[in-house]
């Protein structure tokens, strides 16, 4: 049998193919059941009865029967079930103060002072007997011509500086649609690597799928910079690259279809070059290495954060186990029309913070800020800010945050880096 001989110089194997780009996606974590939420937030005042009542309310407001009845009850100027956009479990808010009565707090686009402007079947205060729990109503605002709670980032108060940058300063990714948010914290992964913590929609270009079919986002390895591309002033420089895992967002092309299946809007970037970031926050002391346990949270706790737009602000924790309104994310402009392309997602089991003293707790550009509580020692983190907004009629300003314990589990984070 004949054999072939390799020519000289051909003994080396061919070079390996270049690595294929990857999004590094992992699915959203499983949603906690009502028993788990009741145990976790027992100190806050969440009970199985309130969670079951909330389930009844959502089921009723979304049922075909309610939608059909509201269609027959409509007259010019009347609103129906479309005004109901979410809920949380928390104390009643009366005359700007928290009342010692736990409720299912309904989030609505606008609070109608005249009940005649609401379809009879959708008057929330009349549904308390049906759901077997007290109901409070909180408006979250409605913006004409734009997505509710849009988080496109305009110019803000930029906290810019040289390396190493501090948490609370501006960061973004260099590919895809320009995005700018806040560097949340310096963290250590379970793999002993150092990472920058922020939001998916800031670091990963809104990575996920739209309508279950269309993938969007930027790949792992995308350059992360200080002074994000939406900032039109100040010099930018590299501080890291997007790392896996990236928890993919479940998104929809309309607010009505936005799936309430998201639990995490977070991502990490590996620090590169070394020494690009530091752990010391603007305005407050280094935080504890571990988050505050969720079961330690109580209603009315005072919280604070530092973000690149509003800097240091103080607020109050008023809700847990929230189902958020549709959150709008910008993907860029349609090249044929120039119109902004927006997609929407909703979130389960998030924290709700209200502003104090009439000041905003957060604004566009603060996404990714770490929310902390004072404990008498080092501040402890409770959440990662990802959305917020203000109702123009009432002045009520709400901010939503992902529980930081969940962020740690989802992204493989071992601890915050501090001076210990």
| pLDDT for position 160 | 57
Q: In whole angstroms, what separates CA 64 from the centre of its chain?
A: 30
- Of residues 420 and 80, more confidence is placed in 80
| pLDDT for position 11 | 67
| pLDDT for position 153 | 39
Average pLDDT over residues 354-379: 90
Q: How far apart are CA 361 and CA 353, in angstroms?
A: 8
Query: Residues of the chain with pLDDT > 90: what percent?
Result: 68
List the domains of the chain with CATH numbers. Answer: 34-139 (no CATH), 170-416 (2.40.10.10)
Q: In whole angstroms, what separates CA 294 from the centre of its chain?
A: 17
10 Å CB burial of residue 34 (0-12, 13-18, 19+) is: middle
Average pLDDT, the chain: 88
Going by C-alpha positions, the residue among 201, 143, 154 that lies closest to residue 365 is 154
Does residue 289 surpass a pLDDT of 70? yes
Average pLDDT over residues 262-290: 94
Instruction: Report yes or no: 243 and 197 within 8 Å, Cβ to Cβ.
Output: no
Tens digits of residue pLDDT in 292-327: 999 999 999 999 999 988 889 999 999 999 999 999
pLDDT band at 227 (very low <50, low <70, confident <90, very high): confident
Q: How far apart are CA 113 and CA 136, in angstroms?
A: 14
pLDDT band at 394 (very low <50, low <70, confident <90, very high): low
| pLDDT for position 291 | 97
Average pLDDT over residues 199-222: 94
| pLDDT for position 395 | 62
| pLDDT for position 106 | 97
Q: What SS3 state is found at 198?
A: strand
Tens digits of residue pLDDT in 126-150: 999 999 999 999 998 753 322 233 4
Tens digits of residue pLDDT in 163-208: 899 999 999 998 867 778 999 999 999 999 999 999 999 999 999 9
- Of residues 225 and 17, more confidence is placed in 225
Instruction: Report yes or no: 356 and 315 within 8 Å, Cβ to Cβ.
Output: yes
Q: How far apart are CA 135 and CA 365, in angstroms?
A: 33
Average pLDDT over residues 88-106: 95
Average pLDDT over residues 51-62: 97
| pLDDT for position 228 | 55
Does residue 161 surpass a pLDDT of 70? no
pLDDT band at 63 (very low <50, low <70, confident <90, very high): very high
Going by C-alpha positions, the residue among 383, 416, 137 that lies closest to residue 281 is 416
The token duo for 379 is 């501040």
pLDDT band at 285 (very low <50, low <70, confident <90, very high): confident
Compute and round to an integer the Cα radius of gyration of the chain: 23
């Amino acid at each position: 049998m004949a054999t072939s001989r390799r020519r000289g110089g051909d003994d080396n194997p061919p070079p390996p193919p270049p690595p294929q780009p990857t999004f590094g996606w992992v699915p959203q974590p499983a949603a906690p059941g009502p028993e788990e939420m009741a145990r976790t937030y027992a100190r806050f005042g969440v009970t199985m009865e309130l969670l079951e009542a909330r389930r009844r309310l959502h089921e009723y407001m979304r049922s075909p029967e309610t939608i059909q009845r509201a269609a027959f009850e409509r007259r010019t100027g009347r609103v129906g079930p479309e005004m109901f956009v979410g809920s949380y479990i928390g104390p009643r808010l009366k005359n700007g103060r928290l009342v010692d009565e736990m409720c299912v707090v309904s989030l609505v686009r606008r609070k109608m002072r005249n009940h005649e402007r609401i379809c009879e079947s959708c008057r929330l205060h009349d549904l308390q007997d049906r759901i077997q729990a007290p109901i409070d109503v909180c408006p979250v605002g409605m913006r004409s011509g734009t997505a509710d709670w849009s988080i496109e980032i305009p110019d803000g108060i930029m906290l810019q500086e040289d390396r190493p940058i501090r948490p609370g300063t501006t960061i973004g990714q260099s590919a895809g649609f320009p995005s700018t948010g806040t560097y949340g914290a310096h963290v250590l992964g379970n793999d002993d690597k150092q990472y920058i913590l922020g939001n998916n929609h800031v670091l990963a270009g809104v990575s996920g799928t739209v309508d279950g079919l269309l993938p969007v986002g930027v790949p792992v390895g995308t350059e992360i910079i200080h002074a994000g591309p939406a900032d039109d002033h100040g010099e930018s420089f590299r501080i890291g690259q997007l790392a896996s895992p990236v928890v993919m967002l479940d998104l929809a092309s309309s607010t009505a279809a936005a799936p309430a299946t998201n639990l995490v809007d977070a991502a990490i970037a590996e620090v590169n070059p070394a020494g690009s970031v530091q752990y010391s926050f603007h305005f407050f002391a280094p935080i504890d290495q571990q988050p505050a346990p969720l079961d330690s949270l109580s209603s009315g706790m005072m919280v604070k954060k530092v973000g690149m737009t509003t800097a240091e602000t103080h607020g109050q924790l008023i809700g847990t186990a929230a189902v958020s309104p549709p959150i709008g994310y910008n993907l860029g402009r349609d090249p044929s029309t120039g119109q902004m392309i927006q997609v929407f997602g909703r979130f389960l089991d998030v924290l709700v913070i209200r502003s104090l003293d009439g000041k905003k707790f957060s604004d566009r550009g603060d996404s990714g800020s770490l929310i902390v509580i004072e404990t008498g020692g080092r501040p402890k983190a409770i959440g990662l800010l990802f959305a917020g907004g203000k109702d123009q009629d009432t002045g009520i300003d709400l901010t939503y945050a992902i529980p930081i314990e969940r962020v740690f589990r989802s992204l493989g984070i071992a601890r915050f880096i501090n001076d210990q």
